Amino acid sequence: MSQAHRDLIVVGASAGGVEALRALVAGLPADLPAAVAVVLHMPLGGASALPAILHRSGALPAVFARSGMPLTHGRIHVAPPDHHLLVVEDRFALSHGPTENGHRPAVDALFRSAAIALGPRVTGVILSGVLDDGAAGVVAIRARSGRVAVQDPADALHPGMPENALRHVRPDHVLPAADLGPALAKLVREQVAPSSAPPASPQVEQENRIVRDWRVTMGAGTIGEASEYTCPDCSGVLNEVEPGTLRFRCQVGHAWSVEALAQAQGDAFEKALWTALRTLEEKVRLSERMVESARTRGDGRQVNRYQGRLDESVRAVDVLRDFLLSTGEPVPVEETGATSGDPAG
């Protein structure tokens, strides 16, 4: 049975992730016998300076990954904006496939492809971020006998991603970001037998094909069973990937975890309310003009009619504005410098 070692580290981060990534790579040695691949969630269309930031933060060079680039030991490979970073055999591939939890690149896409390609040779690392991105990815890695390390939630600027990873798998390490580097440097030297790893599940294989090749996205509708929910990205029917997993894909391949789906629905609801507020305010201004016009004409009947409409609209505006202001939550402030905007949540 051929032997190998754990020579690929895949890292996922989101909000608060730049600080955590800098701390992690500062602890990685220059002679690391493994390749490192990084996905940081970022706004679609944004530029990224992440390779330069990580290059200055530690002993390893950092570059944007390109399709066909080999998994080079002692190098950090960063997912470029608006492209999923995938692993195919012993090389990287880029994909413009469907978004996952509204993100491209997506943490789960990288983790899932790495687990399929290299099995126990993979170590997955979850850093700071909100919601549950990466949880499905570490499950896929663990199912193929890979290792998992998680930033201590108490050390994370946003503990959501680490906490959710801990709910789904028992990691090999839970450490502050600054301590993860030395721990990973030891893990990657472990010997493994890739051929002894359990195969990836059919669902994981199919999800990987959907992200890798847009031509098979129409097959996304064959995953799981239809749910009562619709996709926030395209309004298509969402299928639950596997019963009880609370993970969904639509007919064209957009993927959603339950927390990301709930947030997207909440965002859509709030957007609808703000749109309604704008419409009501326009109705108030129009009604004011109608009242003034009727008063100028001396049409008392119309003045009373339009004034009633104006009063009703003003009351509705006040109620809706008070509701929106009372339920608003502060928006997390991200680090600057990683992108032209902020990392996405």
Residue 227 counted as domain residue: no
pLDDT at position 341, please?
42
Going by the DSSP 8-state scheme, the letter that residue 214 receives in this structure is G
**Torsion sign (Cα): 36, 150, 22, 133:** positive
Q: Is the residue at 339 inside a domain?
A: no
CATH number at residue 163: 3.40.50.180
The whole domain housing 118 covers 4-196
> How many structural domains are present in the chain?
1
Cα–chain center distance at 135: 11
Where are any strands of DSSP class E within 121-200? 122-126, 147-151, 173-175, 191-192
3, burial (CB in 10 Å: exposed 0-12, middle 13-18, buried 19+): exposed
Comparison of pLDDT for 122 and 206, the residue scoring more: 122
> Would you say residue 13 lies in a domain?
yes
What pLDDT, on the 0 to 100 scale, is given for residue 245?
A: 67
Q: Does the structure show a pLDDT above 60 at 327?
A: yes
Instruction: With a cut of 70, say whether residue 345 has pLDDT above it.
Output: no
What does the pLDDT read at residue 37? Answer: 98
Q: What are phi and psi of 141, to 5 degrees?
A: -65, -45
Question: Is 196 known to be catalytic?
Answer: no
The residue that leads in pLDDT, 115 or 277, is 115
Query: Which pLDDT score is estimated for 228?
Result: 84
Task: Please state, as a whole number, how many other Cβ atoms lie within 10 Å of the Cβ of residue 39.
Answer: 28
Q: Is 133 a catalytic residue?
A: yes
Residues near 246 by Cβ (< 8 Å), separated by ≥ 6? Answer: 240, 257, 258
Q: Does residue 159 lie in a domain region? A: yes
Domain membership of residue 269 (yes or no) is no
Is residue 41 annotated as part of the catalytic site, yes or no?
yes
| Residue 330 in domain | no
Output the CA–CA distances (angstroms, integers) from residue 249 to 6, 42, 179, 188, 275, in the order listed. 31, 21, 36, 33, 28
Looking at residue 112, what is its pLDDT? 96
Measured CA to CA, the distance from residue 85 to residue 82 in angstroms comes to: 10
Q: Is residue 276 part of a domain?
A: no
- Determine the 3-state secondary structure of 173 from DSSP: strand
Catalytic residue among 7, 41, 77, 158: 41
7, 108, 132, 133: the catalytic one is 133
